[in-house]
């Protein structure tokens, strides 16, 4: 076989390889990039009529993809990213920069809002979605100032990103005198990388403490406890994701040299195609 014929054959084989094995440009889910993954959040939530409903959706490896919320019974989107497309000002998506959570909020939730909602990643496939069932109780919501304490903040944070937790405590007749933070049973104190800020409101009988870590480390993962001077207590669990390490492992695996057997198979397959093409040419153009 001449060198020119060999080059043409190799070019043809390369074209067939790319045509068969390379994913289409629109299918962003078959690339070597890490696939999006929904993290564990509540899939069954109940709120009283008049409350602000919160439907959680946390996604890892979202990349440049867009998050869409919609009712499973309606193909039209409610929100795309953080933009609300449904004509209802009660709905909005709360997403902090670099956070993994894209939570749908519904103010003044009504009985008609009950149903299954879908958090979906924009793609040609419909398989990347996360359903949340919202139940709405008929009992009207009446704000009260009974003693209460709660922590808000992300449950999942990527390594190197900021972590911010907020503890909001309401006292009985007056705000608690103070708030302490604990992690895995040990009291937290401020340092160069961890800051705590406290704001108190006499009128609303509340005290709010914010815990802020500018760059989260793997050791920041754990159970965070917020406790007031009145011994009100609550906790939340934070998971730190080392996505860079996973990507590096993937890249290392991709860069590993193939074994001799794999190389031989590829070469043999290419030779067979070349010989077959050459035989067809001889049959069609006998001399």
Residue 253, pLDDT score: 53
Q: 206-213 and 59-60 as β-strands: parallel, antiparallel, unpaired?
A: unpaired
Residue 125, pLDDT score: 53
| Residue 231 φ/ψ region, left for φ over 0, alpha for ψ in the -120 to 50 degree band, beta for the rest | left
CB atoms within 10 A of CB 5: 13
Query: Residue 119 pLDDT > 90, yes or no?
Result: yes
Q: 175 versus 213: which is more confidently predicted? A: 213
Q: How far apart are CA 261 and CA 266, in angstroms?
A: 9
pLDDT (tens digit, 9 = 90+) per residue, 202-223?
778 889 999 999 999 999 999 9
Residue 220, pLDDT score: 94
pLDDT (tens digit, 9 = 90+) per residue, 186-201?
999 998 899 999 998 8
Strands across the sheet containing 53-55: 53-55, 103-106, 91-94
Residue 261, pLDDT score: 40
Instruction: Tell me which residue of 163, 158, 162, 159 sits closest to 224, measured CA to CA.
Output: 163
Q: Which of 107-121, 241-255, 262-276 has the lowest mean pLDDT?
A: 262-276
**Residue matched to tokens 């920041």:** 220
Mean pLDDT of the chain: 77
Residue 240, pLDDT score: 93
Query: Residue 34 pLDDT > 80, yes or no?
Result: no
Q: What is the maximal distance between C-alpha atoms in the chain?
A: 105
Query: Residue 24 pLDDT > 50, yes or no?
Result: no
Query: Residue 35 pLDDT > 70, yes or no?
Result: yes
Residue 221, pLDDT score: 95
Q: How far apart are CA 264 and CA 142, in angstroms?
A: 74
Q: How far apart are CA 136 and CA 271, in angstroms?
A: 67
In the three-class reduction of DSSP (H, G, I as helix; E, B as strand; rest coil), residue 202 is classed as coil
Q: How far apart are CA 41 and CA 232, in angstroms?
A: 25
* CA Rg value for the chain: 28
Show the tokens assigned to 120: 């979906």
Query: Residue 113 pLDDT > 90, yes or no?
Result: yes
CA atoms within a 13 Å half-sphere pointing along the CA-CB vector of 214:
6
Q: 172 versus 37: which is more confidently predicted? A: 37
Q: 36 versus 125: which is more confidently predicted? A: 36
Residue 200, pLDDT score: 86
Q: How far apart are CA 103 and CA 78, in angstroms?
A: 12
Q: Is 8 exposed, middle or buried (0-12, 13-18, 19+ CB in 10 A)?
A: middle
Residue 274, pLDDT score: 53
For 104, residues 6+ apart whose C-beta sits below 8 A from its C-beta are 54, 55, 57, 69, 78, 79, 91, 92, 93, 117, 119, 132
What are the distances in angstroms from CA 215 to CA 165, 194, 196, 211, 235? 13, 9, 15, 13, 21
Q: How confident is the model at residue 263 (pLDDT cuts 50, 70, 90)?
A: very low
Mean pLDDT computed over 164-173: 89
Backbone angles phi, psi at 212, to 5 degrees: -130, 125
Whether the CA torsion 94, 38, 109, 73 is positive or negative: it is positive
Specify the pTM: 0.49
């Amino acid at each position: 076989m001449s060198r020119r014929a060999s080059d043409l054959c190799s070019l043809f084989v390369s074209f067939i390889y790319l045509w068969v094995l390379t994913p289409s440009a629109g299918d962003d889910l078959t690339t070597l990039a890490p696939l999006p993954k929904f993290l564990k959040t509540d899939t069954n939530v109940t709120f009283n009529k008049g409350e602000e409903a919160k439907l959680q959706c946390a996604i890892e490896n979202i990349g440049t993809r867009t998050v869409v919320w919609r009712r499973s019974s309606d193909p039209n989107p409610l929100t795309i990213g953080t933009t609300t497309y449904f004509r209802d000002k009660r709905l909005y998506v709360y997403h902090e920069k670099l956070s993994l959570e894209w939570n749908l909020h519904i103010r003044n939730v009504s009985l008609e809002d009950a149903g299954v909602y879908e958090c979906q990643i924009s793609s040609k496939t419909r398989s990347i979605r996360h359903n949340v069932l919202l139940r709405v109780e008929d009992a009207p919501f009446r704000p009260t100032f009974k003693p209460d304490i709660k922590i808000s903040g992300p449950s999942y944070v990527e390594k190197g990103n900021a972590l911010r937790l907020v503890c909001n405590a309401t006292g009985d007749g007056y705000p608690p005198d103070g708030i302490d933070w604990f992690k895995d049973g040990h009291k937290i104190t401020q340092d160069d990388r961890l800051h705590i800020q406290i704001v108190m409101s006499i009128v609303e009988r509340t005290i709010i403490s914010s815990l802020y870590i500018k760059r989260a480390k793997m050791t920041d993962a754990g159970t965070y406890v917020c406790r007031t001077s009145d011994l009100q207590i609550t906790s939340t669990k934070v998971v730190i994701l080392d996505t860079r390490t996973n990507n590096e492992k993937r890249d290392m695996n991709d860069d590993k040299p193939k074994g001799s057997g794999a190389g031989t198979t590829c070469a043999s397959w290419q030779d067979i195609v070349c010989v077959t093409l050459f035989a067809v040419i001889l049959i069609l153009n006998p001399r």
